[in-house]
Every structure is written in C-alpha cells, then in structure tokens.
Chain A
Amino acid sequence: MMIYAILSVNKDSEKLNVLLGGIKGILGADLSVVNFDNVAVIGSETKRAELMADKSNAIEYAGVIESLAQHFTLLPMRYGSIMESTDAIIQMLGRNYSEIQQNLLKVENMWEFGLKVFCDPEKLKADLSRKSDIPPSCLAEPDPELQHSIYRDWVNKKLKEHRNEEMLLTYVNSVIAEITGYLTGLNAVNKFKKMANTSNIIDAVFLLDKDKKDALIHAVSDLQNQHGGLSFILTGPWPPYNFVDFTVK
C-alpha cells in the first residue's frame, strides 16, 4: 500500500470517510484508511510496479496530501512510501506512536510557508561595493622596490573579492534579522538557508498558526517594499513537510 500521510483523526473519522470518498489516489486508485487509536494512515493500493518515476505522479501524490491537510492535522510522507500490508502499517504505528503523537502536536493547526529571496547578484555586489569602498589603508603595502608588482595587484584583487563576499553575507544576515523580527511577532518557527546559490540569497521555511496567514503576507509585502532590489517570493500554505523530523522505525 502506498502511504500518503499520517493523520490525527480524534473523533472525526466520519468526516474523514466522507472526504476520502471525493479524493482519488495516484493513478486513480481509491484511498483507504488504516486506523490505530486516534491516528490514521491514508493509503492506496498502488503496486510497486506501478510506481512510476514520473513528475505528474509526484504532483498527484502531493495533491492528495494537500486535500487532506485542508481538513486534518497530518504528517506528510515522502513520495514512494510503500508498506506491504495493513498489518505491517498497524505494527509500524504501534512502534512509532509516541513520536507520531509528538509531531502531530507540534504541527497542529499550523501551516508551512516558504520564502525565497532573489537578487541580481552582480548588481547587488556592485551596490554593496559602492557603499563601502576599500580604504587605501587596507590595501597591500606598496613594494618599495616594485611599485606595480603583479603580486600586489593579485593581493588587492583577492582582498577586494573577500571583502565583497563578507559584505554580501553581512547584508544577507541583516535581511534575515529583519525577517526574523517580523516572524517573532507571529510566533513562527523558522528555518533559514543562506546563499543557496548566487541569486537565491535566502531560502526559508516557516511554520505558523493557520490564522496568521494574512499577517505573514502583510509582513512579506512590507519587506518587499523596503528592499526594492530584491525579489521576495512567498509560497504556501503547505502541509508541514519541513517540520516533521523523524524516520519511521
């Protein structure tokens, strides 16, 4: 059975059954439930041989998880999670019950959002460099015998590159501090990745209360207005993919 998510159902099992009647799994398969105490695993009878390495299947899989997340607190599974039988699933739930409960509690009534900040790297470096030209005193001392040595030019070039990198990192840290300032007010859990590549200077994910969505959009809009040279791209709401930290035993 292909597994999509582990849900907290509590007393909503009837609501879940109605919901599942309206959703199909990948390759049009019917969805089914395996219950264990107050959690449920949602799966479909997708055979291993049918699990194609295909982009559209992966997107369909994500679509099922998203539909479920609209109504239930859940832990999304990674694409391709297959267990052999209902019994194996029940045993797995029993072995991992405590961790599952802890993770469900952590993400209850929360959405995940993604924020990517892009820049034009050359333009940003030039701007930062202009704002902080290297003072002559920081350049390598002139060689008394050879005023224009290749060595001196090379050292100065390297020094300038190093300072540019430092300036960029300082700038990125200052933008992260601003974002964190806004998020603290929203009680959001956050994870930041700096300099994912030369143009994507910040790649962040947040976990926050569902009712704080509008406040987050407003905050990102403020940040965009303050940093005209950067592009802020907010995505979500997502199921909490980045905030479920455990491997099922």
Chain B
Amino acid sequence: MNDNVIDRSKDITILEVLDRVLNKGVILTGDIVISVADVDLVYLGVKLMLSSVETMEQLKAGKAVGDKELNG
C-alpha cells in the first residue's frame, strides 16, 4: 500500500469522525455556545449547530482576521 492510499484513507476516516460527531448523535434541545478564546462567537440553538468542518474552519479564519484587524 503506498503513502497516497494511506493518506486518503486517513482523510476519509477523519471526515467520517467529524461528520458523525458534528451532525449525528443525540441532540440536546436548548442552547449551545461555541466560542473562540474567551469570546462567545456563535450562539445557536443546538439544531442549528455547526454542520461541517468547513464551518469550523470559517469560524477560526474569521477569528484570525478579527485579531489581525484589532492588532492593526
């Protein structure tokens, strides 16, 4: 098995893990807070919770851009 095949399998497995843990499982009715550092960034009902890795990456990118702007 070459490295590409191993890498691809690893990527698929990570995506499968994230898909399950973010999109499946028992849903808790109520509110949830996902925050970056100590600032509440997203305040959502659980049903509207983050649905993909991309969303998380966007949140992190948004925070990084915000920091840059604040720091001039």
Q: How far is the CA of A80 from the CA of B33 in the complex (A)?
A: 8
Interface size on B, residues (CB 8 A): 36
User: Of A50, A75, A81, A114, which one neighbours B32 at CB under 8 angstroms?
Assistant: A81
Contact (Cβ within 8 A) A82 B33: yes
Q: How far is the CA of A45 from the CA of B26 in the complex (A)?
A: 19
Contact (Cβ within 8 A) A62 B32: no
Interface size on A, residues (CB 8 A): 38
Which residues from chain A contact B56 at a C-beta distance below 8 Å?
A: 53-55, 58
Q: How far is the CA of A91 from the CA of B49 in the complex (A)?
A: 23
Q: How far is the CA of A52 from the CA of B56 in the complex (A)?
A: 9
Q: How far is the CA of A103 from the CA of B20 in the complex (A)?
A: 17
Most buried by B among A59, A65, A82, A238: A82
Q: How far is the CA of A222 from the CA of B28 in the complex (A)?
A: 40
Which residues from chain B contact A103 at a C-beta distance below 8 Å?
A: 26
User: Is A119 part of the contact surface with B, judged by Cβ < 8 Å?
Assistant: no
Q: How far is the CA of A233 from the CA of B25 in the complex (A)?
A: 22
Q: How far is the CA of A184 from the CA of B9 in the complex (A)?
A: 28
User: Is A247 part of the contact surface with B, judged by Cβ < 8 Å?
Assistant: yes
Contact (Cβ within 8 A) B18 A55: yes
Q: Can you list 22 A-B contacts (CB < 8 A)? A: A48-B35, A53-B34, A53-B35, A53-B41, A53-B42, A53-B50, A53-B56, A58-B56, A59-B17, A59-B21, A65-B21, A76-B25, A78-B21, A78-B46, A79-B25, A80-B34, A82-B33, A83-B30, A235-B12, A246-B27, A247-B28, A247-B29
B residues contacting A by CB (< 8 A) are: 9, 12-14, 16-18, 20-30, 32-36, 38, 40-42, 46-47, 49-50, 53, 56-57, 59-60
A residues contacting B by CB (< 8 A) are: 3, 6, 48-55, 58-59, 61-62, 65, 75-83, 92, 103, 114, 116, 233, 235, 238, 241-242, 244, 246-249
